[in-house]
Amino acid sequence: MELQDFIEKFAEQFDDTDITVFKADTLFKELDEWSSLVALSVIAMIDEEYDVRIKGDDIRNANAIVDLFNVVKSRM
């Protein structure tokens, strides 16, 4: 699993946010488009793409995209 690939898949869950905004250190919960619906989409994407189950607490405890990446990587 590569960080850049994860960032691209993460960015695909957002409809209106420009892809150039998404970097490893992006604080995703501060994005205007971030919502509980996007959070559910991210959880589903991680399950489907990486066969890793994460919970709402994992998202709440993550600040940047790289934090979430590290959680997923640690469970693979």
Residue 53 CA to residue 30 CA, distance in Å, equals 23
Specify burial of residue 53 (Cβ count, 10 A radius: 0-12, 13-18, 19+): exposed
Enclosing domain of residue 31: 3-74
Query: How do the pLDDT tens digits run along the chain, 76 residues long?
Result: 899 999 999 999 999 999 999 999 999 999 999 999 999 999 999 999 999 999 999 999 999 999 999 999 999 9
Three-state DSSP class for 8? helix
Tell me the one-letter amino acid at 5: D
- We report the CATH number of the domain holding residue 13 as 1.10.1200.10
3-state secondary structure (DSSP) of residue 66: helix
Count structural domains, the chain: 1
> What is the per-residue pLDDT for 32?
97
